[in-house]
């Protein structure tokens, strides 16, 4: 299983703060799950606390974080 954590406005957008999902081959494969369909294209991702592109391979036990882009000054 993979633990997916949602941060900031993505908690409300997706309707959960954390969910366990079956292992997927890549981050892109995981994001193809209908539960993540509402994610905007500019979403940021981290796998095991390191920023990661959609092509990142995943393994059982990984933690994925979904974060909105941040701007500020």
- E strand intervals along 1-73: 2-6, 18-21, 44-47, 50-51, 63-67
Q: Tally Cβ neighbours within 10 Å of residue 40.
A: 10
Domain residue limits, the chain: 2-67
**What pLDDT digit, counting tens, does each position of 10-58 carry?**
999 999 999 999 999 999 999 999 999 999 999 999 999 999 999 999 9
The HSE-up count of residue 7 (CA atoms within 13 Å, CB side) is 12
- pTM for the structure as a whole: 0.91
* pLDDT exceeds 80 at position 71: no
Cα separation, 16 vs 24, in Å, equals 19
Give the homologous superfamily in CATH for domain 2-67: Beta-grasp domain (3.10.20.30)
């Amino acid at each position: 299983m993979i633990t997916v954590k949602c941060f900031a406005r993505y908690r409300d957008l997706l309707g959960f703060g954390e969910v366990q999902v079956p292992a997927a081959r890549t981050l892109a494969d995981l994001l193809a799950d209908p539960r993540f369909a509402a994610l905007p294209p500019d979403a940021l991702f981290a796998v095991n606390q390191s920023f990661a592109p959609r092509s990142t391979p995943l393994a059982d036990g990984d933690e994925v974080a979904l974060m909105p882009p941040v701007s500020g000054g």
